[in-house]
Structure 1
Amino acid sequence: MRLLIATDAWHPQINGVVRSLEAMAAHAPAQGAAVSFVTPRGFNTLPMPGYPEIRMALATPGQVSRRIDALAPDWVHIATEGPIGLAARAACLAAGRPFTTSYHTRFPEYLAARAPVPESWSYAALRRFHRAGRACMVGTPSLARELEARGFTGLVPWTRGVDTALFRPRSHACLRGQRPVFLCVGRLAVEKNVAAFLALDLPGTKVVVGDGPARADLERIDPRARFLGALTGEALARAYAAADVFVFPSLTDTFGLVLLEALASGLPVAAHPVTGPLDVVGDTGCGVLDRDLREACLAALDVDRARCRERALLFSWEESARQFFGNIRAAAAPQARRGSRDSPLASSSAR
């Protein structure tokens, strides 16, 4: 199978969408597939309003259609709802080419945090976007329930994985600062709720890994907190392994790959009981979920780090790829009908 993935999220962005798509491409040969991408690269771009680090492609359906035709894929998967995704959707519909989609980001909440746009309007647009595909992949059961309650249909599961060889306990890892060390990793933007973490009255040291448009404002909340900037690879893995608690303050993430990276490193999680933490941590004992994030942080200091590692070992990129390509094969089957898809997460969908 030759699969083309259309995505607005791509390098130099550092986020869970990019990592997930890269992992699918890496594991495609084992699933009998070869993956190519249509990304903002090669198009004229403009900075995203309020987030200039992210460039938005000025892509037309005709331009994307020509790229699709040149790559001659057997199937198209549209990963994002930005300009590339919209152009790919229009091109596929015009050509009568079926496709699948995936839901990664709560754009309605993110947009409402920056502009006076009702979430109901944005969700209506997203329902229409995804309903045109044969299936919409979602990362967790709790997210599927939320989307179903909002009228989304055709939802199928696509879990995520973690590189347990890179992210692992390390006996010699260290972070400067008074113990305990509370670590937060993620994009420094308003929707990640990092300000709530920095405002907590906690013993020891707060460490923040990541970068983004809110960094200057966040640094003023707690001048004692250490900001390490964006880290990847071994440097990021060492930071996880050296901390005492991983703090995940987000209320809007749809999964949170950083949760798996922390757990694989033997790092207990403190988070709110919301989508992502409920699915990854839940009542497994590898972290503490509490609406009072400070109480969760302090209680997580007593969590058995070995249990965290054991939990992470249940998530692999191999299983993630098996689900992803299985969803595509099911959607591409001759009996699959556009916009109508039985699945463990939803019964049917209509275009």
Structure 2
Amino acid sequence: MRVLIVTDAWRPQVNGVVRTLERLGEALEERGVEVTFLTPEGYPTLPLPSYPEIRLALSSVRRIARRIEDVAPDCIHIATEGPLGLLARRVCLAGGRSFTTSYHTRFPEFLRARTPVPESWSYACMRRFHNASCGTLVATPSLAAELAAKGFINLRPWTRGVDTELFNPRKKADLGLKGPIFLNVGRVAVEKNLPAFLDLDLPGSKVVVGDGPDLARLKARYPQVHFLGTRTGEELAGIYAASDVFVFPSRTDTFGNVLLEALASGCPVAAYPVTGPLDIVGDTQCGVLSEDLRQAALGALEVPREQARSRALAYSWDECAAQFLAHLRPAADQAAA
């Protein structure tokens, strides 16, 4: 099978969407699938207003149609609702080609946090974008229920995975900080709700790993917090394993790959009871969910590290790829009919 994945989110961005697609591509190729990514690489780009780290590709219907024709895919998956995703969708609809999409990011909330645009307007656009597909892949049951209530159709489950060899309690590093260590990893941006974590009265040390448009402002506002910038690979794995609790203050993430990375490292999770944490942590005893985030963080100190690790072992990139393929095959059959 030859698969084309269209995404506006790509390297050098460091986020859950990019990591998911990279690992998905590797897992699909291990299954003998030929994967091609259509990304902003090779196109002129413009910075996203208020978030210059994200670049928006500039192209045309004709150019995208030519690229799709050259790849000649058996099926097309559109992963993002950006310029490339919109153009690919247009090409598919004009040519009568079936395609699937995936819902990674709450753009209505993302946009509302930065502008006065009502969420209802944005959701109408998102619903129109995704409902034209033969299946919209979502990471969790709670997200599927939420989107269904907003009028999204053809929702399909698509889990995520984690590298349990890289993210492992044995990778523990010495951070030279007073314990206990409360960690957050992710984009340093308004939608991540970081002040809800950084304002907490907690013992020990707070550590934030990641970059983003709010980094300079938050570093100035919270001089006692250890902002380490972007870390990857073995270095990031060591930080996870050295930490005592992973604090996840976001209320808008659709999944939270970092939750699995923390758990695989033996680091229990403290979070709000919202989509993502509800599905991953739930009542599995690998962390604590509460509307009182301080209570959750302190409670998570009592969670056995092996309990956290055990929960992460239930997730794999191979299963992620298997679900993805299961949803693509009906689209491929429909295209061939």
Shorter-chain TM band: over 0.9
Contact 2:143/2:275 (CA < 8 Å) preserved in 1?
yes
Once the two structures are superposed, residues 234-266 of structure 1 have per-residue CA deviations (whole angstroms, 9 ceiling, x without a partner) of: 010000000010000100000000000000000
Unpaired runs of at least 5, structure 1: 338-351
In the other structure, the counterpart of 2:140 is 140
In the other structure, the counterpart of 1:41 is 41
In the other structure, the counterpart of 1:243 is 243
| Aligned AA (1:296) | A
In the other structure, the counterpart of 1:67 is 67
Contact 2:97/2:335 (CA < 8 Å) preserved in 1?
no
* Separation in structure 1 between the aligned mates of residue 65 and residue 291 of structure 2, nearest angstrom: 47
In the other structure, the counterpart of 1:261 is 261
In the other structure, the counterpart of 1:115 is 115
* Separation in structure 2 between the aligned mates of residue 156 and residue 95 of structure 1, nearest angstrom: 24
Once the two structures are superposed, residues 13-45 of structure 1 have per-residue CA deviations (whole angstroms, 9 ceiling, x without a partner) of: 011111111111111134341100110111110
* Separation in structure 2 between the aligned mates of residue 55 and residue 335 of structure 1, nearest angstrom: 32
Tell me, yes or no, if structure 1 residue 27 matches structure 2 residue 27. yes
More divergent stretch after superposition (169-178 vs 9-18): 169-178
Equivalent residue of 1:319, what SS?
A: helix
Contact 1:162/1:260 (CA < 8 Å) preserved in 2?
yes
Q: CA deviation at 1:336?
A: 10
Contact 2:173/2:241 (CA < 8 Å) preserved in 1?
yes
In the other structure, the counterpart of 1:281 is 281
Contact 1:189/1:215 (CA < 8 Å) preserved in 2?
yes
Q: CA deviation at 1:93?
A: 1.0
More divergent stretch after superposition (206-215 vs 22-31): 22-31
| Aligned AA (2:41) | R
Once the two structures are superposed, residues 135-182 of structure 1 have per-residue CA deviations (whole angstroms, 9 ceiling, x without a partner) of: 000000000000000000000000000000000002652222111000
* Separation in structure 1 between the aligned mates of residue 195 and residue 297 of structure 2, nearest angstrom: 15
| Aligned AA (1:286) | C
In the other structure, the counterpart of 1:160 is 160
Judged with a 3 Å threshold, the aligned counterparts in structure 2 of structure 1 residues 257 and 171 are, in CA distance, closer, same or farther, namely closer
Tell me, yes or no, if structure 1 residue 191 matches structure 2 residue 191. yes
* Separation in structure 2 between the aligned mates of residue 259 and residue 270 of structure 1, nearest angstrom: 10
* Separation in structure 1 between the aligned mates of residue 7 and residue 133 of structure 2, nearest angstrom: 15
Number of residue pairs the alignment of both structures matches: 337
Q: CA deviation at 1:94?
A: 1.3
In the other structure, the counterpart of 2:220 is 220
Judged with a 3 Å threshold, the aligned counterparts in structure 2 of structure 1 residues 171 and 154 are, in CA distance, closer, same or farther, namely closer
Q: CA deviation at 1:335?
A: 9.7
Equivalent residue of 1:170, what SS?
A: helix
* Separation in structure 2 between the aligned mates of residue 129 and residue 171 of structure 1, nearest angstrom: 42
Tell me, yes or no, if structure 1 residue 84 matches structure 2 residue 88. no
Equivalent residue of 1:18, what SS?
A: helix
Contact 1:241/1:266 (CA < 8 Å) preserved in 2?
yes
Once the two structures are superposed, residues 90-149 of structure 1 have per-residue CA deviations (whole angstroms, 9 ceiling, x without a partner) of: 111111111100000000000001011010000000111011111000000000000000
Contact 1:198/1:221 (CA < 8 Å) preserved in 2?
no
Identity %: 64
Once the two structures are superposed, residues 306-340 of structure 1 have per-residue CA deviations (whole angstroms, 9 ceiling, x without a partner) of: 01111000000010000001110133234999xxx
In the other structure, the counterpart of 1:321 is 321
* TM-score, normalising length: structure 2: 0.98
Contact 1:136/1:156 (CA < 8 Å) preserved in 2?
yes
Alignment of 1:90-109 (within 5 A): 90-109=90-109
